[in-house]
Amino acid sequence: MAMELLLKEEQHSVRRGTDERVRVHLTPMKGDFQLRFSAVLLGLLTLAAVVFAWLNFRQEKQIAVPYDGIWWVERASDGATALEARRVQPDGPGDRAGIKPGDRLIAVGDLPIRNTAGLMRQLYRGGVYSKLVYSIGRNGVQLEAPVIPEPADKSLNDGLRLIALIYLLIGIYVLLRRWTAPKSMHFYIFCLVSFVFYSFKYTGKLNQFDEMIYWGNVIAWLLQPALFLHFALTFPESKRFVARRHWLLAAAYLPALALLALQFSAYFFSGASELLRWNLDRLQMFYLAAYFAAAAGVLWHSYRHAETPILRQQMKWVTRGTILAIAPFTLFYAIPYLLAPVAAPTLATKLSVLSLIFLPLTFGYAIVRYRLMDVDIIFKRGMAYTLATGAIVAVYFGAVAAAAEIIHARIPSAGTAGLIIAIIITALLFDPLKNVIQERIDRLFYRTRYDYRRTLVEFGRDLNSETDLDKMLSAVVDRLSSTLMVDKLAIFLAGDAPGQLTLAKSFGIVHTQDLDLSFLSLNRGEMGTGHLFFDNTRQALRETPSAQCTIAQLELNYYIPCTVQNRMIAVMGLGKTMQGDFLSSEDVQLLETLAGYIGIAIQNARLYASL
């Protein structure tokens, strides 16, 4: 009798904690107005960015930008400003015309030239492949050089637009599939800003539309590095020094604001100067390279100090992809640009810029392969919000129109107050409507996943009714293997001796003899945090040789301890799904919850067997 009372007390103690976790997992997510407003705003910004990028692309293809192959810089001479050839592209139009570095440009045709703006007007007026006569001053002698401008090489922009498109598609994919995940909104904003940065390319004509493209590119150029550093400092969770000093995140954006103010003042209040433009571009390039290098360092630190194997695997691809993208770009593009202007993009320059494609690709691979943000488990929520948003927009305008008409007809003096009341009522209707849609989608598209969570929890609670240990373990293996659709599953029971484990039940396991299970000690840090994870069962390099052989033979990726009051009763081992995918973090959390019920059931069966 005393034994049964003790058992019941243990069951109630563990069950209370387990039920709390279950309620957290099964409680539906509550939307709020800020989330919906952000969705609409981001949708409008995305649509505007795509339309502007497309118009800019068409404009660039229609306009051939004339280029004379010379970097002209304003220089004061004899009390006046003149253009001096600082660099001449080898075998370019200027080089073929005989212009050399140090030559001063006096006039183009009959029009005197004092600055780059005047030169650009003449180049556009003449167009590509037209003959322009440059009046050149060299060592006090005036010469004439016939220059035939060529179309500027814009091939690099096509590669950048490809990168922009990849950023946008990955950002949209993550946002729709994992709308409510931590950092998914931040990641999408970063992708949208990167899309603007890489796709907006002003032509140089600087008409009204071109000015909008120019300032969009400048703002995105300044925002992208700060957003990425912010993301690195808070992903997968805020770093300790950031958590203690929240102002550091805001301070990360101050250089961007300062550079924007400097760019604004130079554009509107300073005289047009090619040297000033280049120095501003160099300053922004240094800022971009420095911030990306700092973000890579933060991600590397997070990877090196990851506490769990799954987090290490997640961060490995993100970190290596960031370094692979940033290192070539910094070495072969940013640093040479800081030292001297790039007259024409070389093959090394183009390849180094295209290396930036690895950043979104590795993030996307990590998201899909390692469920970095659990992209698939909340697809139903993303769909629910999409349908709910569309429904609420229709209901919103219909309700506002109807309420306005009724109030205007019956209470003419209500005026604006009536509309406000209609808006409030409509907003309050969103949550019930969203929940109804959520329920229908769950049952229509995810009936299996919708039912199995509740089924497994109920199954775990009912395990104590089975006092035969062998039958109970068989039921656990059959239910979990069929519900989670895993290819392998095993249950290891703890023996009387400390650390002793034996294989009791299995599914899909071939090798069951001579197993070294010493790596499943409860004192191991990963086991204490909930589960032990092996990304590649063939490369468990940190284990002993005999343990490596066992891990490879079992081919189980997850080991979840079943504990009761800090005593390990058993260990569940699970492989990948039948499709070869890893389990989602939601599945693993559910299994950790079930482990508490299974531990109690095993202990219960053993106690009854000993009576």
Phi, psi for 506 (deg, rounded to 5) = -155, 165
| pLDDT winner (highest mean) among 168-177, 248-257, 421-430, 524-533 | 248-257
User: What's the whole-number mean pLDDT along residues 528-540?
Assistant: 81
Question: Domain of 301: which CATH number?
Answer: 1.20.1070
DSSP H/E element including 41: helix 33-62
User: What's the whole-number mean pLDDT along residues 467-477?
Assistant: 88
> SS3 for 532?
strand
> Which residues, at least 6 apart from 117, have a Cβ–Cβ distance to it below 8 Å?
272
What pairs with residue 135 in β-bridges? 107, 144
Whether 193 maps to a domain, the answer reads: yes
Res 489 pLDDT > 90: yes
Identify whether the C-beta of residue 599 lies closer than 8 Å to the C-beta of residue 493. Answer: no
pLDDT band at residue 383 using 50, 70 and 90 as cut-offs? very low
Res 293 pLDDT > 50: yes
Distance of CA 44 to the CA centre of its chain: 20
Q: What is the pLDDT of residue 198?
A: 92
Instruction: State how far the alpha carbon of 81 is from the alpha carbons of 8, 113, 137, 278, 474, in Å.
Output: 93, 9, 13, 18, 90
Q: In terms of domains, do 352 and 256 share one?
A: yes
Whether 30 maps to a domain, the answer reads: no
Q: What is the pLDDT of residue 479?
A: 86
Q: In terms of domains, do 250 and 342 share one?
A: yes
Handedness of CA 296, 298, 300, 303 (dihedral sign): negative
Lowest mean pLDDT among 4-13, 127-136, 148-157, 362-371: 4-13
Q: In terms of domains, do 471 and 595 share one?
A: yes
- The residue ranking higher by pLDDT, 307 or 460, is 460
In total, how many domains does the chain have? Answer: 4
Percent of the chain past pLDDT 70, that is, above it, reads 74
Q: In terms of domains, do 500 and 390 share one?
A: no
Q: In terms of domains, do 342 and 408 share one?
A: no
pLDDT band at residue 558 using 50, 70 and 90 as cut-offs? very high
Lowest mean pLDDT among 334-338, 505-509, 527-531: 527-531
Whether 25 maps to a domain, the answer reads: no
Average pLDDT in the chain: 77
Q: In terms of domains, do 271 and 361 share one?
A: yes
Q: What is the pLDDT of residue 414?
A: 56
Whether 510 maps to a domain, the answer reads: yes
Domain final residue pick, 399, 422, 445: 445
The model scores a pTM over 0.85: no
Kindly give the pairing relationship between strand 104-108 and strand 80-88: antiparallel
Q: In terms of domains, do 221 and 364 share one?
A: yes
Q: In terms of domains, do 268 and 140 share one?
A: no
Question: Domain of 494: which CATH number?
Answer: 3.30.450.40
User: What's the whole-number mean pLDDT along residues 297-318?
Assistant: 77
User: What's the whole-number mean pLDDT along residues 360-380?
Assistant: 56
What pairs with residue 573 in β-bridges? 490, 559
Question: Domain of 121: which CATH number?
Answer: 2.30.42.10
Res 578 pLDDT > 50: yes
Q: Look up tokens 């494609």; give the residue.
A: 357
Q: In terms of domains, do 482 and 591 share one?
A: yes
Domain residues for 397?
Answer: 379-445
Q: In terms of domains, do 189 and 217 share one?
A: yes
Q: In terms of domains, do 223 and 338 share one?
A: yes
- The residue ranking higher by pLDDT, 434 or 359, is 359
> SS3 for 424?
helix
pLDDT in tens, 97-143: 999 998 999 899 888 888 888 888 888 888 888 999 999 988 888 88
Q: What is the pLDDT of residue 10?
A: 44
Domain final residue pick, 338, 370, 402: 370
Percent of the chain past pLDDT 90, that is, above it, reads 14
pLDDT in tens, 313-340: 667 778 888 888 888 888 888 888 888 7
Cα 501 from Cα 133, distance rounded (Å): 90
Whether 314 maps to a domain, the answer reads: yes
Q: In terms of domains, do 197 and 291 share one?
A: yes
Domain final residue pick, 316, 348, 370: 370
Q: What is the pLDDT of residue 134?
A: 92
Whether 301 maps to a domain, the answer reads: yes
pLDDT in tens, 138-189: 888 888 999 999 988 887 888 889 889 988 988 888 777 655 555 677 888 8
Whether 27 maps to a domain, the answer reads: no
Whether 467 maps to a domain, the answer reads: yes
User: What's the whole-number mean pLDDT along residues 23-39?
Assistant: 53
